[in-house]
Amino acid sequence: MMQMTARRSRGFCGAAMALVLAAAAHASERGSEPRTPTPRQAEAVLAEHLPAKLFPAGPRLKEEREVVLPETFSQGEMRVDPLLSDELQEPGERRRRDRGNDPAQEPTDADEATDAQESPPPAENPGEKADSTSEEATAGRSNENAQTADELPDPKDTPGDQIAGSTGVSAGAAADPVSAARAGRYNYGLWVLAPALVSIILAIVFRQVVPALFLGILTGAYMLMLGQARLATPPTTAPPAAVAEYAQMHSAVGGFRYAVEQLVLAPVVTPELGHYRMKIIFFTLIIGFAVGVMGRNGGTAGMVEIVAGRSGSPRRGLLTSWVAGLVVFFDDYANAMIIGPTMQSVFDKLKLSRAKLAYIVDTTSAPVASLAIIGTWIGAEIGYLGDGLKTVKENNPEGLPGFIAGMDGMAAFVGSIPYRFYAIFALVLTFWICLTRRDFGPMWKAESRALSGESGATAGEARIIYEKRPVVPRWWLGFLPIFVLVGVTVGILMGVGWNQAVWSDATLTLTGKISETIKAGGDDISYVAIFYGAWGCAVTAMVLTFLSRACSIRDAGDAGLEGMAQMFPAIVILVLAWGLSQVCSELELGPIVAAELKARSFPISWTPVAIFVCACIISFSTGTSWGTMGILCPMTVIIMAEFFRHLPADQVDAMTPLFYSAVGAVLTGAIFGDHCSPISDTTVLASLASGCRHEEHVWTQFPYALLGAAAAVGCGNIVTDVYGQPWYYAIGAGVAALLLIVLIVGRPPRLLPPDAVAVSTKPRGVVSR
């Protein structure tokens, strides 16, 4: 008994000593007399220092919260964080918390009586009495959690070591609006990048974009569940109601269901969210159907042969193949499958290498399709851009400049076309090489071997790629459906939003006038235009096939279904990219990253360069341009919109090109990997359709792709973004620089010794896509 009493005495003495030392330390820091702790402060200290048998709540309270005595004493009373357990909160505080801090709900008489019963007896200490009778302090505490970041006190007036949340963020940091913006709704900070990073890393490691995107969405869903579980009071920005509902389930089940139901399916099937997305999906499928029909009835091949028939010399052969690539602008797959087999015999006759043909086919496929305002790519591109813009407008429309508030995906797409520097310079470089007949690196060796008599691939390879090529190509079967597609789409876009004052404004460029006209038509006009344009194209192709009897309706229908099937992987990527954009929006990725860039003084003028480099790395590593755009496009739009939200009004007009440059950096950086990555589908298809060994095509094309990327950064982004020059100055500088490099570094092919020429007679196998 005496031993137990001694242990208790030592425990109480230790606690009392801790209180005295803490008060003395605080007094020495403040230069004033020590103030007697309140009973609730003493209770918190005893909970930390006494054994569990004497104070059962001690260990549990210590696990939940580490109380910092010197700073809490400075306020004269215990400041209880909302994330602490109910035992440490005043009854009135608990009632206000449960009611959501609504000042309109005044306490009733029953509430006052309940508080009086639950409250501990009043302290006799005069210091505590004087501190606790301040009604202003009590009212301020009751509304503390409802304060916004802008209303929080200056961090200079708040002790920096005061604990503000269970994550360890100090009250000074929480009171700082910049720190609050950097922390975000769930206090994750830059960890909100985790879903996107998971998708990027897994896509690079496993080269599978679809599972990588879904796992990124799943990561974000579990982060939302965990963040909601840590919130005991409504945050500054109320989380989505669905998050709170799913958070009540088991963590594993709730996170998975939220990822599938709310992040993948809801953005597509919910009427208020998915009406424009369904138009994009159907447009992509229908345009794929039309491309398949035109490939089967001979329309596309007829347009190509008109150009190919004018090849009388090596230079003309190269230029006609380049022009043919521009003619088949609406789809990168159709470009490769039509131009490659058509031009093989022409190149063999003119002693041009198959590697050069593969390079031209590859360069005029994805870059041209990505720039075309009509085709299979635009649906996905405006979908990615429109999703980011919709997220920005719905979550926080206040403070957005007018050009972003009235912008849709089509307007952003059109405005970014002059800033797609890599795609533009890749086409320009190919043109200079075809015109001058000068090459460098491995391509020069390939051209010299072809000039010296090395034969290309066997004819059997071309038949495997293009076994359904029609006997009688008819150019009008391809031209008329495309004409209808362009006419209906442009007619709806320009007709609905036409404004003569805009087109009479001499201060606007052509792209500016087009963008203003599209914006005047409404947010959904671009989706309506391409949707009905695709239907007109498909119906025209089928009707012309039936009238001309180029093939049976059954064959045309089967070819159309095959064209639709080629679009399914892209649609899956598109839907998952929408889900990733949604979860990044709910985690407040845009405001957090924008706040981080501002806090770290990152020069915003270099942002498009950084985005372009990231897009190049991701697309080259994964081999997919659509997957890269799906990951980066919405995030780029959100981040740039947050930057413009805080920009002074007098600087918005001067900085507007920076927004389009960032958008163009994503769309054209994604083309880099699609253009030259050895695992890209279009790279593989270009080598197969041209009858060139795949490894030779990759090796000969890569130096040209690197040169185009360097010109895009040096002559494009740096000129427009860093030095603030117009886009046409940048394009002019890039065109001139590429011509000088080709003339200085490149050289014409020459005849090689007979022993250096290897004649290829062995058939090469066709690699499956």
Higher-pLDDT residue of 529 and 522 is 529
Per-residue confidence (pLDDT) for residue 387, from 0 to 100:
80
Per-residue three-class SS string for 92-112: HHHHHHHCCCCCCCCCCHHHH
- Which range, 30-39, 130-139, 310-319, 663-672, is most confident? 663-672
Given pLDDT bands bounded at 50, 70 and 90, which one contains residue 501?
confident
pLDDT of residue 726 exceeding 60: yes
85: helix, strand or coil: coil
Confirm if 526 and 518 have CB atoms less than 8 A apart: yes
Q: How far from 253 is each of 214, 224, 244, 260, 584, CA to CA, in Å?
A: 16, 13, 14, 11, 20
- What distance in Å separates the CA atoms of residue 175 and residue 304, rounded to the nearest whole number? 66
Query: What mean pLDDT comes out for the span 607-632?
Result: 84
pLDDT tens profile 92-104: 444 444 444 444 4
Q: What is the pLDDT of residues 266-298, one digit of tens each?
A: 777 776 665 677 887 888 788 889 888 888 888
- Does the structure show a pLDDT above 90 at 710? yes
- Structure confidence at residue 252 as a pLDDT band (50, 70, 90): confident
Q: What mean pLDDT do residues 367-372 have?
A: 89
Tens digit of each residue's pLDDT (9 = 90 or more) over 219-246: 888 888 887 766 644 444 445 566 666 6
Q: Please write the tens of the pLDDT for every residue from 170-206.
A: 333 444 554 555 555 666 777 888 887 888 788 778 7
Collapse the DSSP code of 239 into the 3-class scheme (helix H, G, I; strand E, B; otherwise coil) and give the result: coil
Helix 332-349 vs helix 681-689: angle between axes, to the nearest 10 degrees?
Answer: 30
| pTM of the entire predicted model | 0.61
Q: Are 353 and 347 in contact (CB under 8 A)?
A: yes
Mean pLDDT in residue range 452-468: 46
On the question of pLDDT at 576 being above 50, the answer is yes
163: helix, coil or strand? strand
Indicate the pLDDT class of residue 713, thresholds 50, 70 and 90: very high
Question: Coil, helix or strand for 618?
Answer: helix
Rounded Cα–Cα distance for residues 280 and 274 (Å): 10
What is the SS3 assignment for 170?
strand
What tokens were used for 434? 């075809």
319-348 tens-digit pLDDT: 988 988 888 887 787 778 778 877 887 888
**Residue ranges covered by each domain of the chain:** 2-146, 148-183, 192-269, 273-749
Specify the range with the lowest mean pLDDT, choosing from 86-90, 212-216, 496-500, 553-557: 86-90
Question: Which helix (H) or strand (E) covers residue 677, if one does?
Answer: none
